[in-house]
Chain A
Amino acid sequence: RKEVEQDPGPFNVPEGATVAFNCTYSNSASQSFFWYRQDCRKEPKLLMSVYSSGNEDGRFTAQLNRASQYISLLIRDSKLSDSATYLCVVGTGGYQKVTFGTGTKLQVIP
Chain B
Amino acid sequence: DGGITQSPKYLFRKEGQNVTLSCEQNLNHDAMYWYRQDPGQGLRLIYYSQIVNDFQKGDIAEGYSVSREKKESFPLTVTSAQKNPTAFYLCASSIQQGDTEAFFGQGTRLTVV
Asked whether A46 lies within 8 Å of B101 as measured between CB atoms, the reply is yes
Pairs A–B under 8 Å by Cβ, sample size 16: A4-B42, A8-B40, A43-B90, A43-B104, A46-B101, A46-B102, A87-B42, A87-B43, A95-B31, A95-B96, A96-B31, A96-B98, A97-B45, A98-B102, A100-B42, A103-B42
Partner of B97 from the list A43, A45, A46, A96 (CB cut-off 8 Å) is: A96
Asked whether A96 lies within 8 Å of B90 as measured between CB atoms, the reply is no
Q: Which residues of A contact B (CB under 8 A)?
A: 4, 8, 31-32, 34, 41-46, 49, 87, 89, 91, 95-98, 100-103
CA–CA, A75 to B65, complex, Å?
40
* Interface majority SS (helix, strand, loop, mixed), chain B: loop
Asked whether A43 lies within 8 Å of B102 as measured between CB atoms, the reply is no
Residue of B nearest to A105 (CB): B40
Give the interface centre of A8, A46, A96, A103 by most chain B CB atoms within 10 Å: A96
Asked whether A96 lies within 8 Å of B100 as measured between CB atoms, the reply is yes
Partner of B101 from the list A4, A31, A34, A103 (CB cut-off 8 Å) is: A34
Q: Which residues of B contact A (CB under 8 A)?
A: 31, 35, 40-43, 45, 48, 50, 88, 90, 94-102, 104-107, 109
Contacts of B109 in A (CB 8 A): 41
11 further A-B contacts with Cβ under 8 Å, apart from A4-B42, A49-B101, A103-B42, are A31-B99, A41-B88, A42-B106, A44-B43, A44-B104, A49-B99, A96-B97, A96-B100, A98-B102, A100-B42, A100-B43
CA–CA, A87 to B41, complex, Å?
11
